[in-house]
Structure 1
Amino acid sequence: MFPGSMNPRFLRFHLLGALFLCLCSTTGFAQTSLSSSIRGIVTDSASGQRLPGVGIRLEGLTAATASDALGAFRLGNLPAGTYTVRATALGYRSPATTVTLGAGATQTVTLRLSTVALSLREVTVSQPRDPNQSLATITQIDRVLRPLNSAQDLLPLVPGLFIAQHAGGGKAEQIFIRGFDVDHGTDFNVSVDGLPVNMVSHAHGQGYADFHFTIPETIEALKVYKGPYTARFGDFATAGSGEFITKTSLEQSQVKLEVGQFDTRRALVLLDVLPKDKHLFTQNSESAYLATEYYFSNSYFDAKQHFKRFNGLGKYTGLLSERTSLTVLGSHFTSNWDASGQVPERAIREGTISRFGSIDPSEGGSTNRTNASAILTTTLSHDAVLRQQAYFVNYNFNLYSNFTFFLDKPEDGDEIRQNEQRNIYGYTGSYERDTPLGGRTLHSVLGVGTRLDDLDLALRNTVNREVRDTIVSGHIYEQNFNAYLDETLPLTDHLTVNAALRVDYFRFNFREQRDPALSGKAGKGRVSPKLNLYYDLTPNVQFFARSGFGFHSNDARAVVLDPRANVLPRAIGYEVGSTFKPVPSLVVNTALWALHLQDELVYVGDGGFTESSGRTRRYGVDLALRYQLTRTLFVDADLNYNHGRLVEAHPDSNRIPLAPTFTSIGGLTLKQPSGLSASLRYRRINDRPANEFNSVRARGYFLLDAVVSYTRSRFQVGASIENLLNVEWNQAQFDTQSRLPTEPAEGFSELHFTPGTPFFLKGNVSVFF
């Protein structure tokens, strides 16, 4: 039986756990105490900026918390006495602060953190304010150590995530994680500063997540949540979620130029538009910066790709008062390209084209995206934090593809055009507070949100980019309403329980312009309980057991055809694992996990129809290692084993196409105080089935990349090499039925692929001011 829909006892267990903590929160709000407390603010000693998410601990005690969105913290329920307060954040150091409390007294402190060289000896593994973010330590280390050469390097910062590019940088990447071929984002939720990246009911496919509107040098932090265990995420969050956060301010302005092979050029400008005397930074501070990026490349294909991309970003953050901050962000992205497309192995084998050739050189596309966002964060008088965000996205997409060549239309070819024009309107709000409860502190978060996608889209047949006829064309109105309650309660000094309940409701409306039979309306809701346990044996050893329900979302065009169908198939995931430090300079995260889906529905945007895989089952093991060999030398490795099957299929045809079974990413990094940095990194993915029968195999690969840079106070020079060994490898790979002009009418089914980057050298120089 599928545990997500046919095991009511398991569902009741989750619901009772969540409701128990909800009851605790409502009773806890009425409690009062004469105990003492410590309040404080955490700031960067150089810039004066407040720092959120910094761990706060009392020496010799288990009491801990973290600074909130405004850099404030509170440690309550303390008896009178003298305490030593320490703040812990990766890459920062703060002196110990001694506080003496009288009975019922409250003391206020300011903790000023100074930046220091990375030392894994000082890392602690527990996350007192957000225990579900058990990969926080790993991702913080990676953000400091791993080099970023392009926006494509950002998603692989998620431990265990692999990407493959279809069109030389123009399209969104294909994503692989936890035994999923996520396509372009069907089961992994991505956001930037609270702006959703995944697109519902997209012209190319459900969940399409084009991340290229992000400038890598502006990213400051990444939060990773594997599995459906966190209530803040609903749609697309089956395998997990990644939250990228851009910088609040710049340490200094920067101009950067890059030049590489294949006519590759990139220019970057980061400009601090509110420079200030750091020593006069006040609590009513504000910061603002502009970032622009231009990129051009003809890529390594025989036909020039003419790939162009422009990004512009402006961000303002200001403290309107001691208790209120405002963040305003605006950005614009535009890109256009030609593409060589996927090619069949036989065409290369027979000498019809070279490895970097193309069958239909008229493929390509264009896209643009404009974002606007405002976030108002307020600390209320009773220590609660109210965060509200409103956002707007205007998005346009136009793609020409040809996957089957001359199979359906022997004379003109099978090229198609997918295009859409979309507006997204969204709001999210959260109310967060700590409440004394029986000598413990209950952390509660209540969240609400809505997202409305209003778009026109079409799928058409084309020849050399000229439209011949229309397959599907219409207007989609899709809205999601959601709410959640998340409660975290330390039951003992070592054991913490996190329980949550999330509710999602979707409204679908599709009007097909030519065929009313394809139009319709539908509505569907889901309740998703979560229950997670964390046991901190020591500050350096944490065990966890997590479980949660989620859902696999579906495309509006498919939903309205049969509103009674299971349009939001349930998912259930669970895992056990640990984050620990066996020796002071080694951080390890490991998890044994399983994930069941009631159905995997995929709307095939290339054909205008829905495919159902039926029930699926996946399980696997994740292992992440971060080790500091010396003061300046670090080694890291992620190893991920995944096993997945189609549950209802015959054993001879139960493989999940393109689902990876083993992936690994790692490297060796040198960080010298003199400014010299170097990194040698590898990527490994194994062969995997390309169809249900395992009769065609997608080919694995092992790649080496290298990066070196030298940084001083006013400049930086560097170079990078992709595919250091110049191996032949395949990026996107599919088992496709296609026909070349001289072949029989039925064509041939075999592996089609996009060739991976050959040896690629690129140099860069930056000036800071």
Structure 2
Amino acid sequence: MKLLSPIVCGLPLLCGAVTAHADDAGQSQSAKANQQPIERVAVFGRQVNLLGQSSSASEGIVGAGEIESRPLLRTGEVLEFVPGMLVTQHSGSGKANQYFLRGFNLDHGTDFATTVDGMPINMRSHGHGQGYTDLNFLIPELIGQIHYYKGAYYPEIGDFSGAGSADIALTDDLPYRQVQLTLGQYGYQRLLATGQQQWQDNKFIYGTELQGYKGPWTDVEEDVRKVNAVGRYLTHVGNGQLAVTAMAYSNDWNSADQIPERAVTAGIIDEYGSLDTDLGGDSSRYSLSSQYVDANWRASAYVIRSRLNLFSNFTYFLDNPQDGDEFQQVDNREIWGGKLARDWAVSPLGINTNVTAGAETRYDHIGKVALYHTQQRQRIGTVRDDAVDEFSSGLFGKLEAELTDDLKLRLGARYDYYNADVDSDNTLNSGNANDGIWSLKGGLSYLVSDDLELYASAGQGFHSNDARGATIKVDPVTGEPQDKVDLLVRSTGAELGFRYFDREYINISAAFWYLDLDSELLYVGDAGTTEPSRASRRYGTEISAYYWLNDALSVDAEIAVTRARFTEDATLEGKYVDGTVPWVASAGINYQPAAAGIHTAIRLRYLGKRVLDSLKAHQADATTLVNLSLGYGYRDWDFKVEVLNLFNSHEHDIDYWYTSRLSGEDDSGVEDLHYHPVEPRMLRCSVSYRY
């Protein structure tokens, strides 16, 4: 079996109870028929053989070797290892990215659940957007694997998982220690140091990252100042492994936000210009987490402290012609939570079965979530200022049964309960909201041969809405009556798929899927937030293919086609879901020999035309980018050159259609295309000493 990075983990903290060698992953289902419990495989490789192991065709594992080889513009692009996912940005480098998957403009993370070492990253009732997912605190070199799940078919996963989820696990074993220096155009600087110390059954893994970046913008110097630090202690306890991880992140930056097309056309600014040069922010995140895994138990606990101050201006002079529309969003919170799961192997009626039961809980103490009018980053008015306490608990269970040597049945269920208290500066908007929701999930898989498996999956999921919307009574600006929204919103989906793996050269997976959502969350340009909207339906096809020409050279291609439509009030208000992307594709060539010498990777990513309004009157053009890396390893040294945006595309990272007003325009403003350009071609050079 040929892998890009055929390294097997010994006892991964997030990867099930039993591991297997890579060669065992290819054995037939019949050969395992008499084994108990059902085997779970976790391999640090790219798209390895998951026949007989995965729950659907839309599940996969990405290993550290693949992550290391791919050129990345931003840290958040690690989620582009999820087939069909594309990651962009509409503002400065320090805030959460924009994500696209399965026809969703996921904004900053809604409907895609992300965890890091058991810690939830999506922020509920957040100051900038529901489900806010900021991955800037990650050091990519310390990621061990990414296990992704698309669709709502997995009972272990709750909030924000309608489109899918990703479990990011930090490494349990560094292949080497290193010091790396990267310098690039537009003032890019990065210093990285990672290491590992081991004594008897104890291990300590650490890493630090310092990053600076001025950016290519005409009127704004980003002046990014990012600091990351990670310390990870691992030891054996009983028959399992305990990991305790501390993470610290701090960042501040200036922003070149999205701009109106008419300002560029009129020559007021160029494509890298800004209409408000006071924008930007600062963010920090500190966490302490622990995880324990043995043959039967999986447990995790965490505490997180998160802060964000963000200054934006999307409409310029529309709402406040005198002072401008600049605003500040504040989110200060602490999060506590944990998860516990137990596995049993049983044989009712002689059927080999794994049973899992578990529980999880999370408490967000949001001391301040606020929106202020500002001018030159000074507050001149308060839109709303709230404190929110939001608690959730979930129970889940599943069984995996081998009905025959080749046929597996998976059934699962979970129940989630949410309670939120809102203390608003306007007492009319204070109050309590609570809700509960059941989710049922199931699937079948049939191993046609040692190379081919078929899947049928179905399930219910949900996302939570901002708690402030569930208690609101009056608009905080106008004072007019405002309708409340449901705290929890149902999604329902299903898919048919297959996975083919010949254990020599080819790995192909494909799925045809659909998803119904009771309420969309849509981006509102003039407020910089999301708001609930109408019910919708999506369906589409995804195909991923990987071909290994030899042990060092591989090619891959991924394509996703989606149709998204509103199913409610479609005749009057339009049927097209704003911001959806019908076509997404990526492809790459990767040459990574085991020995020192030349290594290279080239990556193409395509984001198709986007519908910008529900009537499809306006669309954004497609965006195509190519990134290249070329390196040379010599003894303990590695030298690498990365060229990002190789062909210097001037296309757009993201586009919106809404009303804004420039100085001197009519009071009612102008509807226009607003976009953030892709960053121009840039060169980055790295030198690493590995020891």
Same fold (TM over 0.5): yes
Q: 1:87/1:671 Cα in 2 relative to 1: closer, same or farther (>3 Å)?
A: farther
Post-superposition CA distance 1:293-327 (Å, at most 9, x none): 01100011012111111100000110123x13211
Structure 2 residue aligned with 1:126: 51
Conserved in 2, the CA contact under 8 Å of 1:134 and 1:579? no
Conserved in 2, the CA contact under 8 Å of 1:369 and 1:396? yes
Q: Secondary structure at the match of 2:464?
A: coil
| Equivalent position to 1:500, from 412, 426, 434 | 412
How far the C-alpha of 1:250 sits from its partner, in A, is 1.9
Q: Secondary structure at the match of 2:512?
A: strand
Conserved in 2, the CA contact under 8 Å of 1:472 and 1:608? no
CA distance in 2, matches of 1:752, 1:511: 35
Q: 1:609/1:699 Cα in 2 relative to 1: closer, same or farther (>3 Å)?
A: closer
Structure 2 residue aligned with 1:62: 30
Conserved in 1, the CA contact under 8 Å of 2:330 and 2:370? yes
Residues 730-745 of structure 1 correspond to what in structure 2 (within 5 A)? 730-745=652-667
CA distance in 2, matches of 1:603, 1:432: 41
How far the C-alpha of 1:552 sits from its partner, in A, is 2.8
Structure 2 residue aligned with 1:536: 447
Q: 1:57/1:751 Cα in 2 relative to 1: closer, same or farther (>3 Å)?
A: closer
Residues 569-648 of structure 1 correspond to what in structure 2 (within 5 A)? 569-581=489-501, 584-601=504-521, 607=527, 611-648=531-568
Q: 1:532/1:499 Cα in 2 relative to 1: closer, same or farther (>3 Å)?
A: same
Fraction of identical pairs, as percent: 30
Structure 2 residue aligned with 1:406: 317
Conserved in 1, the CA contact under 8 Å of 2:27 and 2:450? no
- Larger RCO (CA within 8 A; separation ≥ 6): 2
CA distance in 1, matches of 2:28, 2:495: 31
Residues 124-163 of structure 1 correspond to what in structure 2 (within 5 A)? 124-128=49-53, 130-132=54-56, 135-136=59-60, 142-143=66-67, 146-148=70-72, 150-163=74-87
How far the C-alpha of 1:629 sits from its partner, in A, is 2.3
Q: 1:138/1:732 Cα in 2 relative to 1: closer, same or farther (>3 Å)?
A: same
1:296 equivalenced with 2:212 (yes/no): yes
Q: Secondary structure at the match of 2:287?
A: strand
Unaligned runs of 5+ in 1: 1-43, 66-73, 79-85, 93-117, 277-281, 380-384
What is the letter of the counterpart of residue 124 of structure 1? N
| Equivalent position to 1:350, from 266, 274, 279 | 266
| Equivalent position to 1:566, from 483, 486, 503 | 486
| Equivalent position to 1:653, from 574, 580, 591 | 574
Structure 1 residue aligned with 2:285: 369
CA distance in 1, matches of 2:29, 2:255: 60
| Equivalent position to 2:184, from 260, 263, 284 | 260
Which is greater in Rg?
Answer: 1
1:182 equivalenced with 2:106 (yes/no): yes
Q: Secondary structure at the match of 2:80?
A: helix
Post-superposition CA distance 1:195-222 (Å, at most 9, x none): 1110000000100000111000000111
Structure 2 residue aligned with 1:97: none
CA distance in 1, matches of 2:26, 2:559: 35
Q: 1:697/1:134 Cα in 2 relative to 1: closer, same or farther (>3 Å)?
A: closer
How far the C-alpha of 1:596 sits from its partner, in A, is 0.4
What is the letter of the counterpart of residue 135 of structure 1? E
Conserved in 2, the CA contact under 8 Å of 1:471 and 1:608? no
How far the C-alpha of 1:628 sits from its partner, in A, is 1.1
| Equivalent position to 1:490, from 399, 402, 409 | 402
Conserved in 2, the CA contact under 8 Å of 1:139 and 1:157? no
CA distance in 1, matches of 2:338, 2:42: 30
What is the letter of the counterpart of residue 371 of structure 2? L
Conserved in 2, the CA contact under 8 Å of 1:237 and 1:550? yes
Structure 2 residue aligned with 1:34: none
CA distance in 2, matches of 1:250, 1:58: 26
Conserved in 1, the CA contact under 8 Å of 2:229 and 2:247? yes
Q: 1:505/1:493 Cα in 2 relative to 1: closer, same or farther (>3 Å)?
A: same
Residues 131-280 of structure 1 correspond to what in structure 2 (within 5 A)? 131-132=55-56, 135-136=59-60, 142-143=66-67, 146-148=70-72, 150-274=74-198
Q: 1:651/1:584 Cα in 2 relative to 1: closer, same or farther (>3 Å)?
A: farther
Conserved in 2, the CA contact under 8 Å of 1:578 and 1:591? yes
Structure 2 residue aligned with 1:329: 245
| Equivalent position to 2:235, from 318, 327, 334 | 318
Q: 1:608/1:762 Cα in 2 relative to 1: closer, same or farther (>3 Å)?
A: closer
Conserved in 1, the CA contact under 8 Å of 2:292 and 2:300? yes
Post-superposition CA distance 1:594-627 (Å, at most 9, x none): 0001122458697498733211010000000101
Conserved in 2, the CA contact under 8 Å of 1:569 and 1:600? no
Post-superposition CA distance 1:433-476 (Å, at most 9, x none): 22223333211111101000001111000001000010110110
How far the C-alpha of 1:584 sits from its partner, in A, is 3.7
CA distance in 2, matches of 1:177, 1:45: 28
CA distance in 1, matches of 2:181, 2:647: 26
Structure 1 residue aligned with 2:308: 397
Structure 2 residue aligned with 1:755: 677
Q: 1:671/1:251 Cα in 2 relative to 1: closer, same or farther (>3 Å)?
A: closer
| Equivalent position to 1:557, from 447, 468, 476 | 468
Q: 1:714/1:141 Cα in 2 relative to 1: closer, same or farther (>3 Å)?
A: closer
Q: 1:605/1:203 Cα in 2 relative to 1: closer, same or farther (>3 Å)?
A: farther
CA distance in 2, matches of 1:576, 1:443: 23
Structure 2 residue aligned with 1:71: none
Conserved in 2, the CA contact under 8 Å of 1:125 and 1:542? no
How far the C-alpha of 1:144 sits from its partner, in A, is 7.0
Q: 1:560/1:405 Cα in 2 relative to 1: closer, same or farther (>3 Å)?
A: same
Equivalent residues, number: 667
How far the C-alpha of 1:163 sits from its partner, in A, is 1.2
CA distance in 1, matches of 2:487, 2:245: 35
CA RMSD of aligned residues (A): 2.7
Q: 1:644/1:60 Cα in 2 relative to 1: closer, same or farther (>3 Å)?
A: closer
Q: 1:424/1:672 Cα in 2 relative to 1: closer, same or farther (>3 Å)?
A: same
CA distance in 1, matches of 2:543, 2:57: 16
Conserved in 2, the CA contact under 8 Å of 1:204 and 1:605? no
CA distance in 1, matches of 2:26, 2:216: 56
Residues 86-97 of structure 1 correspond to what in structure 2 (within 5 A)? none
CA distance in 2, matches of 1:439, 1:355: 68
Conserved in 1, the CA contact under 8 Å of 2:9 and 2:44? no
1:766 equivalenced with 2:682 (yes/no): no
Structure 1 residue aligned with 2:338: 427
Bigger Cα displacement from structure 2, 300-309 vs 625-634 = 625-634
Structure 2 residue aligned with 1:105: none
| Equivalent position to 2:429, from 494, 518, 521 | 518
How far the C-alpha of 1:149 sits from its partner, in A, is 5.9
Post-superposition CA distance 1:136-189 (Å, at most 9, x none): 267788547544564133111111001111223111001100000110011100
Bigger Cα displacement from structure 2, 362-371 vs 166-175 = 166-175
Structure 1 residue aligned with 2:480: none
Post-superposition CA distance 1:368-403 (Å, at most 9, x none): 000101123344xxxxx1222110000000000000
CA distance in 2, matches of 1:605, 1:371: 32
What is the letter of the counterpart of residue 358 of structure 1? S
Residues 102-117 of structure 1 correspond to what in structure 2 (within 5 A)? none
Q: Secondary structure at the match of 1:438?
A: helix
Conserved in 2, the CA contact under 8 Å of 1:586 and 1:628? yes
Q: 1:77/1:686 Cα in 2 relative to 1: closer, same or farther (>3 Å)?
A: closer
How far the C-alpha of 1:249 sits from its partner, in A, is 2.4
Conserved in 2, the CA contact under 8 Å of 1:427 and 1:450? yes
Unaligned runs of 5+ in 2: 13-17, 474-482
Conserved in 2, the CA contact under 8 Å of 1:125 and 1:539? no
What is the letter of the counterpart of residue 363 of structure 1? L
